[in-house]
Structure 1
Amino acid sequence: MPYEPPTHRVERSIRALTGARLVAGVDEVGRGAWAGPVTVCAAVTGLRRPPEGLTDSKLLTPLRRAALTEVLTDWVTSYALGHASPQEIDALGMTAALRLAAVRALEGLPERPDAVILDGKHDYLGAPWQVRTVIKGDQSCVAVAAASVIAKVRRDAMLAELGTAHPEFAFDSNAGYPSPVHRAALAELGPTPHHRLSWAYMDALPRWRHLKLPSHRDAAADETLEDAGQLGMF
């Protein structure tokens, strides 16, 4: 399906209105997974022409994402990743865990950005960061699209590595999202140390329900949004 390539329009607007010099694009992946961390990438790209084919990671095949990431990691001015573990998600709820991962990513950049373009409509970052939220920013903004692709590829690789100790869960193919193989392994074997134990799926596991932790309303809401076979898409 044809798509419009991302542009620097939002970044130029932020620079013109606020005088910001360094603008970072931020995107997350793993929000709706049942296992693994939520991962945030912060990317600074400047106003250079982006690599051919750059767009939201969900619109790219795994092979194209991997090839593009090799180009992007050299092309971007800088980037950094931040993660919040399943244990932190259980303890804090998803909104706070997202903020934690995002701050870790932003603070991992060599220079603190003056402004942040955040994918989506909700500002989970907040003060003291100067944030512009952009719905479908991973399709329309160059820096956010770059962050989207890098975050997806790096988290997928992380889940594949975690899955070597738990091959029955097929983390290498589902990235911790609820595929049929993942669901069947959970029912039979119970959760691994990489699972989010406060989430509602635990209620449907009679043998393992006793392991469920108290849930957070925001985590449950995020789970519901992405719990229908959206295998690693976010």
Structure 2
Amino acid sequence: MTYEPPTHAVERSIRAKTGARTVAGIDEVGRGAWAGPVTVCAAVTGLRRPPEGLTDSKLLTPRRRAALAAELPGWVTAYAIGEADHREIDELGMTAALRLAAVRALDALPVKPDAVILDGKHDYLGAPWRVRTVIKGDQSCVCVAAASVLAKEHRDAQMAELGTEYPAYAFADNAGYPSPVHRAALEERGPSALHRLSWAYLDALPRWRHLKRPRTPPEAAALQAAGQLGFDL
């Protein structure tokens, strides 16, 4: 199957409408995992021609994705990674954890973007950033595609390294996502120190169900609400 390559069309539209000079693309990885952090990349690419084959990381072979991830740091104008770990996900809930990771990525950029293109339907970032959400932005927008590849490669490598401490869960293969080996290890050993204890997988593990934590305590509500007040682009 062939896919249309990403373009700068959305970024050009934002620049024309708002006068923005620096636009960052944001994508995340790890939202649906049982273990490990949620990782966000913010990438600024300008309007240059992208590397050949750049697209959503999920559409790339591991070999091609790794090659692009090696090329992108020297091609992008700037990029930065932000994370919220498994403990913060359990404490805050995923919406607030995503915002925390995205803020960390944006704060780490050497230049502050005038606007942000956020992959997906929901704006989990919000004010004070000017946000345009784009469904399948990682396929259609160059800066978001670059962020997608960089975030995926960073988190996969991190999970493989962390997995050396917990080999039974095969994190090098599944990056903390559901898999038969991962599930079997959980049934036998229970969650590791990297697992999210508010996730529903524990409901299916009677032996370990008592470890489950409630999701999103009330004190996180204000943090979640703060991510809903963005600008309309």
TM-score, scaled to structure 2: 0.92
Q: Deviations over 1:148-179 (max 9, x none)?
A: 00000000000001100111100000000010
Matched, 1:86 2:86: yes
Matched residue type, 2:93: G
Determine helix, strand or coil for the equivalent of 1:118: strand
Aligned Cα root-mean-square deviation (Å): 0.8
Tell me by how many angstroms 1:17 deviates.
Answer: 0.3
Q: Distance in 2 between matches of 1:9 and 1:147?
A: 17
Q: Deviations over 1:53-111 (max 9, x none)?
A: 00000000111110110111110000000000000000000000000000000000001
Q: Distance in 2 between matches of 1:3 and 1:213?
A: 41
Determine helix, strand or coil for the equivalent of 2:116: strand
Q: Distance in 2 between matches of 1:117 and 1:94?
A: 19
Determine helix, strand or coil for the equivalent of 2:125: coil
Tell me by how many angstroms 1:119 deviates.
Answer: 0.2
Tell me by how many angstroms 1:216 deviates.
Answer: 3.4
Determine helix, strand or coil for the equivalent of 1:128: coil
Tell me by how many angstroms 1:142 deviates.
Answer: 0.1
Superposition map of 1:59-74 within 5 A: 59-74=59-74
Identity %: 79
Tell me by how many angstroms 1:114 deviates.
Answer: 0.4
Count matched residues: 217
The residue aligned with 2:101 is 101
Q: Deviations over 1:103-130 (max 9, x none)?
A: 0000000011000000001000001110
Q: Which ranges in structure 1 are unaligned for 5 or more consecutive residues?
A: 218-234
Determine helix, strand or coil for the equivalent of 2:164: helix
Determine helix, strand or coil for the equivalent of 1:73: helix
Q: Distance in 1 between matches of 2:12 and 2:92?
A: 35
Q: Distance in 1 between matches of 2:41 and 2:91?
A: 22
Q: Deviations over 1:189-232 (max 9, x none)?
A: 01011100011111111111111111239xxxxxxxxxxxxxxx
The residue aligned with 2:211 is 211
